[in-house]
Amino acid sequence: MKYSAQALAILIVLLVSLTRVQAQGINFYQEGIRAYNQTQYIQAIQDFQQAVQNHPLNWKAYQYLAYCYYDVDDYPNALVSCNKSLKIHSKNESLLAFRNNVRNQLASESTSVSAAPNNASTPNYPNTGYTTEQFQPAMRSYQYTMMHPRYWSRFWVGYDYANLGDLKNAATAMQQYGNTATEGSSGWDIGGEIGWFLGNRNNGLALGIDYLGSQQYTMSNSGSSGVTEQTIEPSAVPLELSWYHFWYMPHSRFYLTVGGAYYFADAYYSYYDSTNGSSSGNFTGSAFGPQVGAGYDWQVGPHFLIGFFGRYRIVKIPSLTYDNGSGPQALLVFPDNTIGVDYVSNMVIDQARYATLDYTGFDVSLSLSFVY
């Protein structure tokens, strides 16, 4: 249990640190330049707005905001952005000339507006296809059909099912001997990841970390010879590398993922005998296993999504060992399917084999994603 608490604390610290580093590394100004050069004007406007919000004296960001607004025929906002840039850096000859051009466009519009028909279906922003009524709401909603994200972070919590066959078999064997024994496959899953889109918003790679906590195995017996109790608390911390493919709909997305994880497993073992005393230790092991999954997200804000997903994994973690200073011990399965602890050197005499933590199974979780 002590090992599991430490793993959970490390998980939380890593997730917070990774997200902080990711957020600090985002350069909205450079992202805006990239989007502008690709004529993705709504995306560029959003990036430059974030850039001037973070750095109010960034006159270059205001200048490019003016260019973007001009390119989508939003001349009033183009003029406002010109003025803000020139207020910070007044000796910008190219922008002064550009502002004069914007003013001429505004003057031209004001002389023709009274003669123009009132047709709301006409795209007033020809480079985007939006009418006046549609343009600002589209920017505020930051629709995924217009998004070009580069990074994401995601956090989740949910239900986990693991096979744990050796522990379940041991509980059944103990019950046949008249002992009270329980073991289950249910547990819980908490984790997170950071990801990078690979040149477009449809494909990405992510690094993640999970904590899988499972139902403990317990055995107890009370008789004339005394009281015997045995407990095993299994858990696993997988470090994951996953590939994603996304399909987008308005305000939502569906995705498939495939990857693998390296699992660090821990089985905290405790034994109590009213005659001979008690013993305990953390038996650890590791293994690699593949996993596949699918999920669905809904957009609830400019950069936020909530959703659910499920994954299936295949992994068996063998050779769980612990050394208390007197020699390596192992979690063993004996010929009658009961489970216990003995020195590795006694395995042949005991006719025993290493116990396996079989974490083959699935998890179903709720998630919160942040897209940048």
- The CATH number of residue 317's host domain is 2.40.160.20
- Mean pLDDT lowest for which of 71-80, 136-145, 190-199? 136-145
Question: What pLDDT, in 10s, does the model give residues 206-237?
Answer: 999 999 999 999 999 887 677 889 999 999 99
**What is the pLDDT, as a whole number, of residue 115?**
45
User: What total number of domains does the chain contain?
Assistant: 2
In angstroms, the Cα distances linking 260 to 204, 208, 223, 323 are 15, 10, 47, 29
More confident position, 200 or 85: 85
Q: Are 109 and 174 contained in the same domain?
A: no
Inform me whether the pLDDT recorded for 249 exceeds 80. no
Domain end call among 143, 177, 210: 143
* pLDDT, mean of residues 147-153: 77
Q: Are 128 and 180 contained in the same domain?
A: no
**What is the pLDDT, as a whole number, of residue 172?**
93
Torsion angle of the four alpha carbons 18, 19, 21, 24, in this order, in degrees rounded to the nearest 10: 180
Q: Are 104 and 166 contained in the same domain?
A: no
Question: What pLDDT, in 10s, does the model give residues 312-360?
Answer: 999 999 999 999 888 999 999 999 999 999 999 999 999 999 999 999 9
Q: Are 280 and 136 contained in the same domain?
A: no
Please give the full DSSP string across 323-365, using - where no structure is assigned. Answer: E-SSSEEEEEE-TTS-EEEEEGGGHHHHT-EE--EE--EEEEE
Q: Are 229 and 325 contained in the same domain?
A: yes
Domain end call among 100, 121, 143: 143
State the burial class of residue 35 (Cβ atoms within 10 Å of its Cβ: 0-12, 13-18, 19+): buried
Q: Are 179 and 319 contained in the same domain?
A: yes
Q: Are 365 and 236 contained in the same domain?
A: yes
Rounded CA gap, 267 and 170, in Å? 15
More confident position, 299 or 87: 87
Q: Are 123 and 154 contained in the same domain?
A: no
Domain end call among 121, 143, 165: 143
Q: Are 127 and 68 contained in the same domain?
A: yes
Host domain of residue 136 = 27-143
Q: Are 210 and 348 contained in the same domain?
A: yes
Q: Are 126 and 209 contained in the same domain?
A: no
- Which strand (E) or helix (H) includes residue 63? helix 59-71
Q: Are 57 and 179 contained in the same domain?
A: no
Q: Which two tokens stand for residue 296?
A: 């669905």
- With a CB cutoff of 8 Å and minimum separation 6, the contacts of 118 are none
CB 337 within 8 Å of CB 169: yes
Under the banding of pLDDT at 50, 70 and 90, the label for residue 9 is low
Rounded CA gap, 317 and 355, in Å? 9
- The CATH number of residue 56's host domain is 1.25.40.10
Under the banding of pLDDT at 50, 70 and 90, the label for residue 13 is low
